[in-house]
Structure 1
């Protein structure tokens, strides 16, 4: 491999830097690019940065701080996003004896969209928690479930690129987290008392004005960094279920189960 070829594999292209879902919100696009560039410039990233929930130095410390909170200690079922910076969260949950629910990355392409990891089952099968805590390992060894078959969730962990002390958040731009949380509310898997938390690098916490909260946005209750625990001060209540008028056509087309689940939810509400 030539030097120039090696450089091309290490430097993000302009399309990668703009993000896979760029164009939906220009302000959030600029903020995500700023966060990703900052991680890269400070060398606080672990692995690739752009167009993803990027990993960062200190993610294990943030998971430790999260595990010391009462909301964690009281939770028996933890929902956690599948991204690399939350591997330590999933691993701690398993070692703490909690059931972990993880979505198949981007909800998969036709198999059941959720994975359930039960520590006792994994131990009986001889599966190491370190394998099960990775997204690839979880999909291999976990029990597959639909949205409807998920147990009630005690703590919801979301992956974020930028957050605010007012509870605002943005992910990589695909809209998966807000859609997921809306479906949880429609299906009564979470309620107004369910804590919504994230672990992020401290550089991802931005001023409230940088990330305006819309009526349909789910709000964080807790932000945990590598050095701090922040209980947020949301200015309003959590939204209800999915606002189907705001679901984008490409989401309905690309998320393989969404049309059928929408029909079921609307039929249940109508009945």
Structure 2
């Protein structure tokens, strides 16, 4: 599993972080456990953002011996509290998964559903993060590639500053700009209908500004499926 013998836990940027946002996928379960075990605040989205927005967990909120359970999506919902869009919170570090990542540029490929980008954009809207917020991805060494063309990246794609594998830590020194928020013109009606918090946010902004936000073209959404990193994790757990 990306996360065993975790080099991330020895990094100064992690040790100094008070609040860490970690994606809810299985390969990052150990990162969530490490965050809570280190008496840090954990911010994790509910899977696919279909029920709630983010859950906030603090080790003091979790009964003794229950941190492993709290590190799962169901446990995060059980022991965490929902984060509102108006809440003031500062995220010191972001940890995301990747299907593939280029150490030379920090460019990454996800599952193709855009949830990492949407979560990042919403945190930018809330003022919880900015350009200086470090982004880490935890992957297997086999997921390192050198053929992600920078010219194919889109404005909402999230680059990474640090790559952690079970054997090494890579500082990408990426110069790829980080997204500045949510790019509504990239969101299809189907994606909006899938995520309630996005619909609520869009309606709020339109009400506050008196301006109708753009919407992307209609698309057929892909069926959820296990990513390459999840397949690798399952193989390693056999």
User: TM-score category by the smaller chain?
Assistant: 0.7 to 0.9
Contact 1:79 1:101 in 2 (8 A): yes
Partner Cα separation in structure 1 for residue 66 and residue 197 of structure 2: 31
Contact 1:198 1:222 in 2 (8 A): yes
- What residue in structure 2 maps to residue 130 of structure 1? 68
- What residue in structure 1 maps to residue 100 of structure 2? 162
Counterpart pick for 1:224 among 164, 168, 176:
164
Matched, 1:152 2:90: yes
**Contiguous gaps of at least 5 residues in structure 2:** 212-238
Contact 2:108 2:148 in 1 (8 A): no
TM-score by length of 1: 0.71
User: 1:196 deviation in Å?
Assistant: 0.8
Stretch of structure 1 that moved more, 162-171 or 67-76: 162-171
Q: Deviations over 1:207-246 (max 9, x none)?
A: 1435742222121111101111111132332121111101
1:79 aligned counterpart, secondary structure: strand
Q: What RMSD, in angstroms, separates the aligned Cα atoms of the two structures?
A: 2.0
Following superposition, which runs of at least 4 residues in structure 1 exceed 3 angstroms of deviation? 208-212, 265-271
Q: Count the aligned residue pairs.
A: 209
- What residue in structure 2 maps to residue 184 of structure 1? 123
Partner Cα separation in structure 1 for residue 79 and residue 174 of structure 2: 37
The structure whose residues are more often helix, as a share, is 1
Contact 1:59 1:199 in 2 (8 A): yes
Contact 2:17 2:92 in 1 (8 A): yes
Contact 2:118 2:182 in 1 (8 A): yes
Partner Cα separation in structure 1 for residue 209 and residue 31 of structure 2: 35
**Contiguous gaps of at least 5 residues in structure 1:** 1-55
Contact 2:61 2:79 in 1 (8 A): no
